[in-house]
Structure 1
Amino acid sequence: MSGSDHTFLGGLFIGVFIAFILYGIFIVQVYIYSLHCKEDTKWLKCLVSVVMILETLHTALMFDQMYHYAVTGFGRPDIIEKIDWTVAGIVVTENIAVALVQGFYVYRVWLLSNNSRAWVVGMVSLQNIPALLPLLIGILVFSVFTSTRSVCVTTHTWAEYQTRTENKVGVNLANITSVVADTAVAVAMVYHLSRSERYFKRTDSVLRWLIAYSVNTGVLTMLFALATIITYAYVKDNLIYAGLVVVSGKICANSMLGALNARHVLRDRLNDTTYLGSGPCSTVQFRSEVDQESPVTIDMSNSEVTVTAQESV
């Protein structure tokens, strides 16, 4: 393999190597989830199973891609400069998995917002961000279709993929929408969790953990999306943007499983510090220390750690 080949494929190889490590972590998280998912709904178990299948297929396609470029294409610039068919499969599987994870986070925000369906036109506030998230997901699906089509149908070489206007629009739209969606989800979750925190003191550490996790996850995926936009636009002699894309997909999958697996840890922490009511073991109910007439509930059953508080009139 020539020096130019090393430069061109180096960023992609590093990204794939990191993605393999993250896949191993993901599988461990799936195993941990299987030990604590008895009370989860069927749709959530199905969601985790589908994401696991997609991530496994995504990883297998990445392995085949690396074999194609590093072994079959060794010393063959004519092979390296062309987009292999596995790239299309990688894009499709990752886009579907990311869309499912985004949908999961939208559902979390919907729960935290007390199932609000309000749609306010012309007045966007933190209170109605959850109502706008389906629109963001719709735009994301459109951009995913555009970027997938550009790889699967209209593009044959890496140079062409980086120069065609249609491809630039698809890649930038997908990543910009991802940044907006991640930011909206993180801001909405922090807002609703912060509102719940003011009602009580004994679980403030749990809420702080939830807030920190939401912010860190959103910021991390947002930074990867921004880095992809920048490297795709300005780094023409290296596939580092492709490496960033495969890593960000694995981060999304791990973040979802991490959120699910954290529930039993948080439940144990709550059980050690709060009074358990007569409800199911996964629901902790107590009254606010600020207002004894304002019941606060943290529900860790099924798919989410749900915090609800009813203000006294």
Structure 2
Amino acid sequence: MFVLETGFSILITIAAWNAFGSGWGDPDTLGELDWTWLVMLPLNAILAAMAQGFYSWRIWSLTNRRLWLPILIGCVMLTQVMAAFYSGMTIVVRGRSVSQLFGLWPEITVWLSGSATCDLLITASLVYILTRHRRTSQYPHTTGLINKLIRFSVETGSVTSVAALVKCTLWLSCREWNIHYIL
């Protein structure tokens, strides 16, 4: 995952340079997606699936191997990954312009809302499961560790969930300005 994240960071830097560095002064470069975007869409989906898959497995192991919640998270994860891959392939086929993104409004909406839903499910599930385990613990040291895990889950999960919700909201409400790219 570290290697893929590093590759993603390199690709996003190249895309930013092409749009704002070498494309400076040419407004047409802001409307075109360069080659890096064709790799970033599926790579973004793969990275999200890896993280969400790990947390789904973690939830499965914390719920004493009950399957319904990890299967639900996995289905949402696979849906958003497939929507991201489809969007990337369609952009390659139709042309690499920002206007093509608006033609993929349903697919990108499924992708972004699926990602936000998956992150919210993971955060809420971890907090609920850990809180339930904290109530059954009889040892103060274990309760303290579980409290730290709950705090960590709330802090990191809420940041991820809020960012995904804001990105989805910006896509749905401000499409003509592409503000959702900020996140």
**TM-score greater than 0.5 by the shorter chain:** yes
TM-score relative to the length of structure 1: 0.53
**Counterpart in 2 of 1:180?**
117
**Counterpart in 2 of 1:200?**
138
Which of the two has greater strand per residue?
1
Whether contact under 8 Å (2:45, 2:84) holds in the other structure is yes
Inter-partner Cα distance in structure 1 for 2:164 and 2:125: 20
Report the secondary structure of 2:163's partner residue.
helix
After TM superposition, the structure 1 = structure 2 runs for residues 1-313 of structure 1, keeping only pairs within 5 Å, are 51-117=1-67, 128-161=68-101, 163-164=102-103, 167-198=104-135, 199-202=137-140, 203-236=142-175, 238-244=177-183
Change (3 A) 1:204 1:234: same
Inter-partner Cα distance in structure 2 for 1:91 and 1:189: 28
Q: Deviations over 1:186-235 (max 9, x none)?
A: 22222221222122241222111111222232222222122112222333
Q: Deviations over 1:122-170 (max 9, x none)?
A: xxxxxx4234222222222222222322433334321332x31xx1112
State the one-letter code of the partner of 2:31. Answer: E
TM-score relative to the length of structure 2: 0.87
Q: CA deviation at 1:99?
A: 0.9
Which of the two has greater helix per residue?
2
Percent identity of the aligned residues? 25
Q: CA deviation at 1:237?
A: 5.1
**Gaps in structure 1 of 5+ consecutive residues:** 1-50, 118-127, 245-313
Inter-partner Cα distance in structure 1 for 2:151 and 2:93: 41
Q: Whose radius of gyration is greater, 1 or 2?
A: 1
**Gaps in structure 2 of 5+ consecutive residues:** none
Q: How many residues align?
A: 181
